[in-house]
Structure 1
Amino acid sequence: MSFKDIVGQEKAIKILKKSVQENRISSSYIFVGNKGVGKKITALEFYKAMNCLNINKNNEACDNCEVCSKINRQCCPDLKIIKPIKDLIKIEQIRELRKDIEIKPFENKKEIYIIDQADQMTLEASNCLLKTIEEPPDYVVIILICLKLDPLLLTIISRCQIINFRLISSLQIKKLLLNKINNLKEERAELISKLAQGSIGKSFSLLSDKEYFNQREKLLEHLATIFPGKYDPHIFINIEKMITEIDRMEETLEIIISWYRDILMIKKLGTQKNIINSDKLEVISEISRNYPLKILMDILDYSEQIQEYLKKNVNKHLVLERLYLKMVGLEYCLK
């Protein structure tokens, strides 16, 4: 693989290739963007370009020399990847990094430390890392990979070069899937490319995830029966049934959000262009006639709040009960 094989990140790659060409590689970077858009792959390709024995005129690694081969297999002694342990990067891991960093590269011109999910660092780990980022050895490159900048210390952010990774268009993902996967039907590639919502990584995981599509089908069938004002004395039994059947909560919430965003797109803009659930277009168009814009906006606002609540271990039953009440418009009837 090389830079040219990374889809949709031309701007980020242009910046990195220029730094290699001009020999002006920063000591620390933050690669920020959604899951599955190529941040880690780009970090590895960047490291190959720094050290490749036969780099070409486009500042891309040859992918064949001994250095490239070792980096591809991630068995290079000068390449260290730090990942969360039980959802956290702890101070002990950063202390270990600080010890390692004192040793010069074994084989390459540069050694690299890739901190994956750097937004999961504890405060103690972040403060420990700051000491290294403030005065790094000239042979070290540190790359922090994260979804958002917000969880990082401002003092860390200010000392790093920020490289933004954008979402990949559904058209680019569709073309990639059709090129890479034999006998994939175009309609299937179209749906997956939209459900992936800008993430190549997610698109490939969806290809073989039957459980996701089974859950999605059940959930959308249920959502298609919900209308504002359509509720009965058994509403809380329905809520309990919905909650107990829900698995993979984050994915479930993403499906719910995509469903109501699609309804809003049809309702407000009258366009089918950016509909995610393209296989349910007829149902979505029908339902859009029954939902006032105010209720749709309220459902989406609250759904996005739930994503934050779940990170804080808030009671799932309570937040989903309230979401369900918003779906049927009961909160408006009670005002």
Structure 2
Amino acid sequence: MSFYRIIGHDMIKSQIENSIKLNRLSHASIFVGEDGLGKSLFAEELAIKILGKNEIKRYVDIIELKLFKNKKSIGIEEIKYIIEEINKKPYEGDKKVIILYNSDKITETAQNAVLKTIEEPPKGSFIILLCEKLDGILDTVKSRCQIYKLNRLNSKDMKKFLNNKFPGLYEQELNSIMAFSDGIPGRAEKFISSSVLKEIRNITIKIFRKLYDEDINITLEFPNYLFKEKDNWEEILTCMLSYIRDVLIYKETGNSDLIINRDKFQELKAIGEMFSFNKLNAIIDIIGSIREKIDKNVNPTLVFDSMLMKMQEV
């Protein structure tokens, strides 16, 4: 098995395969990256490689722990269960794998509790931690793990992923999905299967059209919709940036072939005629600052209200 389900991340795949060949695979690994980049796929396939299996399926010697629904963190009780499980002998062979999803959500107390197990796991035991950010992982834990950082895919790998996963896409569809997903395969899959994300594309371009009309207060028209889709805030902001990039490119070159969101060309052309380079760049800065605020858990309602007001003021 050679990570055949995973497109891109070639250096990481090669590094792991070499470690396994040389019998130098770390007993504890961290896969870090944004949601949708393939951390779970890496964990599943690595776990199966460790067990010496070839078929993708559930195995009794792969123990998984995920953040419970409606809980914000993984606490000491869940970690005690994992410590107990890892100290049991494997059932089928001589190896066992523990996969800890949402590892950056494990409380500090619980991380300290599992630290000794990470330092000195039972013979034949391997621990794989998955997280979106390393900030939530204690330095003492990180220092004892091999860290693999997953980055967004380049356009070539994204196109390959989409053609493999969804053969038969029209070129226009392909370009729109690539623009929306911004190098994240999981986001592309969500876009294809979700009518909500298609609606986000339509609403966000409508916001830009309305921004130009100074007689309309968009802070009255759009906040309710944005708040309703607050769980998709990353997709909303990514979509906005994608449109602005297309507008800037077209204004600069006049070449519509360079636009990614080609199905929205007429709207983008109109937006380019409405806004100056300075205003478009100012909106990019506003979106960047909004993203930072949401990352810091500022109330989404206040954030979106602020964003729309600032956009209309520039």
TM-score, structure 2 normalization? 0.85
Cα displacement string for residues 242-280 of structure 1 (whole angstroms, at most 9, x for unaligned residues): 011223221323323333344455567888787553433
CA distance, structure 1, for counterparts of residue 20 and residue 139 of structure 2: 27
Q: Which residue of 2 aligns with 1:44?
A: 44
Q: CA deviation at 1:174?
A: 2.5
CA distance, structure 2, for counterparts of residue 15 and residue 270 of structure 1: 43
CA distance, structure 1, for counterparts of residue 152 and residue 275 of structure 2: 29
C-alpha distance 258-184 of structure 1, shift in aligned 2 (>3 A): closer
CA distance, structure 2, for counterparts of residue 267 and residue 110 of structure 1: 59
Q: Which residue of 2 aligns with 1:141?
A: 126
Aligned residues: 308
C-alpha distance 158-281 of structure 1, shift in aligned 2 (>3 A): farther
CA distance, structure 1, for counterparts of residue 142 and residue 115 of structure 2: 10
CA contact 2:175–2:260 (8 Å) conserved in 1: no
Q: Which residue of 2 aligns with 1:164?
A: 149
Q: Determine which of 245, 264, 271 is the counterpart of 2:225.
A: 245
Q: Determine which of 73, 86, 93 is the counterpart of 2:57.
A: 73
Q: CA deviation at 1:162?
A: 0.9
CA contact 2:28–2:118 (8 Å) conserved in 1: yes
C-alpha distance 14-274 of structure 1, shift in aligned 2 (>3 A): farther
Q: Which residue of 2 aligns with 1:114?
A: 99
More displaced, 89-98 or 12-21? Answer: 89-98
Q: Which residue of 1 aligns with 2:214?
A: 231
Q: Which residue of 2 aligns with 1:28?
A: 28
C-alpha distance 215-118 of structure 1, shift in aligned 2 (>3 A): same
C-alpha distance 274-304 of structure 1, shift in aligned 2 (>3 A): farther
C-alpha distance 44-231 of structure 1, shift in aligned 2 (>3 A): same
CA distance, structure 2, for counterparts of residue 157 and residue 293 of structure 1: 44
Q: Determine which of 244, 256, 280 is the counterpart of 1:260.
A: 244
What are structure 1's unaligned runs of at least 5 residues? 53-66, 331-335
Q: CA deviation at 1:18?
A: 0.7
**Aligned pairs (5 A) from 1:300-311:** 300-310=284-294
More displaced, 262-271 or 160-169? Answer: 262-271
1:322 aligns with 2:311: no
Q: CA deviation at 1:31?
A: 0.8
What are structure 2's unaligned runs of at least 5 residues? none
CA contact 1:261–1:300 (8 Å) conserved in 2: no
Cα displacement string for residues 61-96 of structure 1 (whole angstroms, at most 9, x for unaligned residues): xxxxxx433xx222x121011111224222221111
CA contact 1:117–1:147 (8 Å) conserved in 2: yes
Identity in percent: 32
1:279 aligns with 2:263: yes
Cα displacement string for residues 37-71 of structure 1 (whole angstroms, at most 9, x for unaligned residues): 2221122212222232xxxxxxxxxxxxxx433xx
1:84 aligns with 2:67: yes
Q: Which residue of 2 aligns with 1:202?
A: 187
CA contact 2:179–2:242 (8 Å) conserved in 1: no
Cα displacement string for residues 200-241 of structure 1 (whole angstroms, at most 9, x for unaligned residues): 2222222121222123213312322323xx523x52xx3132
More displaced, 307-316 or 200-209? Answer: 307-316
More displaced, 278-287 or 79-88? Answer: 278-287
TM-score, structure 1 normalization? 0.81
RMSD, matched Cα = 2.7
CA distance, structure 2, for counterparts of residue 271 and residue 154 of structure 1: 49
Amino acid at match of 1:17: E
Partner-residue secondary structure (3-state), 1:99: helix
C-alpha distance 273-137 of structure 1, shift in aligned 2 (>3 A): farther
CA distance, structure 2, for counterparts of residue 136 and residue 199 of structure 1: 33
Report which of the two has the higher share of helix.
2
CA contact 2:36–2:184 (8 Å) conserved in 1: yes
C-alpha distance 96-275 of structure 1, shift in aligned 2 (>3 A): farther
C-alpha distance 6-313 of structure 1, shift in aligned 2 (>3 A): closer
Amino acid at match of 2:229: R
Amino acid at match of 1:23: N
